[in-house]
Amino acid sequence: MSKSGSNTRGIFDTTDMDELSRVVDAVCSELGIEATDAKQRERVARRMLASWEAGRRTPLVLVQAGLDGALCQKTA
């Protein structure tokens, strides 16, 4: 994963969004979350975005954050 040129919280450049989108798609696919299930996909994406904003941007960490987001939904 590349590091964003932006240091401002909540601002993502095109490269950031492309990378995050690919990871969200991969995690959701692995978990069997359909592309039309906006609620579950958003939960996964929120966890990944929080990780990204905190500077934890390696693929493994982002995947784990997404899995944690899905797990939180199942235990709630």
Residue 28 belongs to some domain of the structure: yes
Q: What's the whole-model pTM score? A: 0.75
35 is a domain residue: yes
CA torsion sign, 21 to 24 to 27 to 31?
negative
Range of the domain at 70: 14-75
Q: Can you give the pLDDT at residue 70?
A: 84
On whether the CB atoms of residues 51 and 65 are closer than 8 A, the answer is yes
Say if 8 falls within a structural domain: no
Q: Contact, 23 vs 66, CB < 8 A? A: yes
58 domain-assigned: yes
Identify the CA nearest to 51 among candidates 7, 13, 20.
Answer: 20
Considering its fold, how many domains does the chain have in total? Answer: 1
Q: Which residue has the tokens 């994406």?
A: 45
One-letter amino acid of 6: S
**Tens-digit pLDDT profile for residues 13-43:** 899 889 889 999 999 999 999 999 999 999 9
